[in-house]
Amino acid sequence: MRRIGLIIAGCGLSLAVFAQKEVSIKIDTESKGPVISKHIYGHFAEHLGRCIYDGFYVGDNETKIPNTDGVRNDIVAALKELQIPNLRWPGGCFADTYHWKDGIGPKEERPTIVNRWWGDVTEDNSFGTHEFLNMCELLGTAPYLSGNVGSGTVQEFADWMQYVNNDGVSPMSDLRRENGREDAWNVKYWGVGNEAWGCGGNMTADYYANVYRQYATYMGGWTSNEGIQKIASGASSGDYDWTETLMKKIPARLIDGIALHHYSVIDWDNKGSASEFSEEQYFITMQRAYEMEELVTKHIEVMDKYDPEGKIDLVVDEWGGWYDVEEGTNPGFLFQQNTMRDAMIAGMTLNIFNNHANRVKMANLAQAVNVLQAVILTDEEKMILTPTYHVMRMYTVHHDATLMPLEINNTSYVKGDAELPAISASASEDLDGKKHLSIVNIDASQSYKIRVPFSGVKKSQVSGEVLASGKIQDHNTFEKPSHVAPVEFKDFKVKEGNVELTLPPASVVVLEIQ
């Protein structure tokens, strides 16, 4: 315990007064770090529950929801605000069941597909390759396609690449033109299967490494495929052997990235409610989220051994909080509320990714709309932005900015015998020379004074935003959509070359220093 507590009791009141420890964050403004790839701020849209159908896509039929070619205008506008750099599709587990040719051509002729992983619902394939890639153009985002390895073929995968990327004359590009699209979309990011150790085929790492080599061999060849990023299905959380086997067995010329999936789950058999949870459960979620620091550090150590020049990226293409589904909703749809707890996961995780930007070049929050740690929830024509959305928006300042390494003289958030660093932070400098510092205080009940030495800084040069709320369970609802929203941050002063600020409990602050 690092806090000194004094209990004052009287008039039936019991008050705990803590001697607060001051935290300092020392930013190294001299040694420039790597560029924080904007692709760390990527999203994920799987055919799962109400993410695509009844989420992004309301279809071509008469609907009162304003849309462009079936894609909701309000979602597009909200995601544009986030400047989402890439969007992963069609899965997830769904990807290894998906046959892309079923999702092209006249919609009335497309066969159906039963979504066997997610609720066994029958989909009509009305949202396919064209609908997704055109939606990415609307969003101004780079598509990240996950190809089917588990139940597909090398030919099917290679054909998909030819269909979307080949500008010349070829059977697949001709078919694309027949289906109404003249220009190739030039998709850069390609995932070779998903969770090959599980729903992607239950393969061993050795076996998958060979399968990967075979697929990757046929992913090149078209001029327009130059510069494509081939991303291998990666480890689940701490499976370092998986990463090691892939690094050892796959020639560097065939691979550009290795994925990693990690969810903040209390217990897979008892995940707990998304919005009604105790502080103990909150603390465990924070522990799970904080594991990301160790995971990326150790996976990077393995990668460094085989690729000291850092040519192969670590791509955390699924991360986020995972709880029990909301009562009364389909258990296969993974629909959950999103609270200040999720804002903490987001702020902390993004700080971890920023601070490891030398190797973590891409990541995808799971998932964008109505599934898991969503940034957007919809209910018919209504739409709300979640606390996670707000963190993502506040952190856009780090997109493609240069990392400034920092050191935190931290304090602990203590629960029982366990403790976690209370404060996490990352800092960057953008192309205009503006500096940004994002700070998260995960402590559910304690505010902290933070001192950031910044020589020569004047108060007029500092501004900021804060996301905080009375309780860690606080969230937005369709009735109260702005219950949790960021506001201007005013609780700071500048004194003798230091920015001194107070971070409320469970809060995210992003400071700008001009």
| Residues acting as catalytic residues | 195, 318
Using alpha carbons, list the distances in angstroms from residue 141 to 8, 92, 184, 407.
56, 19, 16, 33
Judged by beta carbon, residue 198 or residue 310, the one nearer ligand AHR is 198
Q: Residue 404 Cβ, how far from ligand AHR at the closest point, in Å?
A: 33
From 90-98, 271-279, 355-363, 437-445, span contacting ligand AHR (CB under 6 A): 90-98
Binders in 447-476 for ligand AHR, by CB under 6 A: none
From 11-19, 85-93, 125-133, 458-466, span contacting ligand AHR (CB under 6 A): 85-93
Binders in 347-366 for ligand AHR, by CB under 6 A: 366
Q: Residue 372 Cβ, how far from ligand AHR at the closest point, in Å?
A: 6
Q: Are 362 and 317 in contact (CB under 8 A)?
A: yes
From 19-27, 86-94, 271-279, 484-492, span contacting ligand AHR (CB under 6 A): 86-94
Q: Is 318 in the site for ligand AHR (CB under 6 A)?
A: yes
* E strand or H helix at 318: strand 313-321
Judged by beta carbon, residue 348 or residue 366, the one nearer ligand AHR is 366
Burial 331-359 (b: 16+ CB within 10 A, else e): ebbbbbbbbbbbbbbbbbbbbbbbbbbbb
Q: Which of 42, 92, 103, 321 binds ligand AHR (CB under 6 A)?
A: 92
Judged by beta carbon, residue 200 or residue 387, the one nearer ligand AHR is 200
Burial 279-307 (b: 16+ CB within 10 A, else e): eebbbbbbebbbebbebbeebbebbeeeb
Q: Is 274 in the site for ligand AHR (CB under 6 A)?
A: no
Residues near 496 by Cβ (< 8 Å), separated by ≥ 6? none
Over the window 149 to 178, marking each residue x when it contacts ligand AHR by CB under 6 A and - when it does not, the resulting string is: ------------------------------
Judged by beta carbon, residue 264 or residue 446, the one nearer ligand AHR is 264
Strand 86-89 vs strand 42-44: parallel, antiparallel, or unpaired? Answer: parallel
Q: Which two tokens stand for residue 254?
A: 């065939």
Q: Is 91 in the site for ligand AHR (CB under 6 A)?
A: yes
Instruction: List the beta strands (DSSP E) in 29-136.
Output: 42-44, 67-68, 71-72, 86-89, 113-115, 121-123
Judged by beta carbon, residue 366 or residue 385, the one nearer ligand AHR is 366
Q: Residue 205 Cβ, how far from ligand AHR at the closest point, in Å?
A: 17
| Total residues interacting with ligand AHR, rule: CB under 6 A | 10
Distance of alpha carbon 379 from the chain centroid: 23
Q: Residue 159 Cβ, how far from ligand AHR at the closest point, in Å?
A: 23
* E strand or H helix at 287: helix 279-306
Judged by beta carbon, residue 98 or residue 222, the one nearer ligand AHR is 98
Q: Are 303 and 247 in contact (CB under 8 A)?
A: yes
Q: Is 342 in the site for ligand AHR (CB under 6 A)?
A: no
Cα distance between the two ends of the chain? 38
Q: Is 191 in the site for ligand AHR (CB under 6 A)?
A: no
Judged by beta carbon, residue 324 or residue 430, the one nearer ligand AHR is 324
Q: Which of 96, 123, 131, 195 binds ligand AHR (CB under 6 A)?
A: 195
Judged by beta carbon, residue 366 or residue 377, the one nearer ligand AHR is 366
Over the window 22 to 61, marking each residue x when it contacts ligand AHR by CB under 6 A and - when it does not, the resulting string is: ------------------------x---------------
Q: Is 260 in the site for ligand AHR (CB under 6 A)?
A: no
CB atoms within 10 A of CB 150: 22
Distance between CA atoms of residues 295 and 264, nearest Å: 12
Distance between CA atoms of residues 90 and 100, nearest Å: 10
Q: Are 427 and 411 in contact (CB under 8 A)?
A: no
Q: Are 395 and 467 in contact (CB under 8 A)?
A: no
Q: Which of 115, 194, 229, 378 binds ligand AHR (CB under 6 A)?
A: 194
Q: Is 93 in the site for ligand AHR (CB under 6 A)?
A: yes
Burial of 495 (0-12, 13-18, 19+ CB in 10 A): exposed
Q: Which two tokens stand for residue 301?
A: 């150590």
Helix (H, G, I), strand (E, B) or coil at 386: coil
From 87-95, 244-252, 440-448, 463-471, span contacting ligand AHR (CB under 6 A): 87-95
Which residue's beta carbon is nearest to the bound ligand AHR?
A: 92
- Chain residues that interact with ligand AHR, rule: CB under 6 A: 46, 91-93, 194-195, 318, 366-367, 372
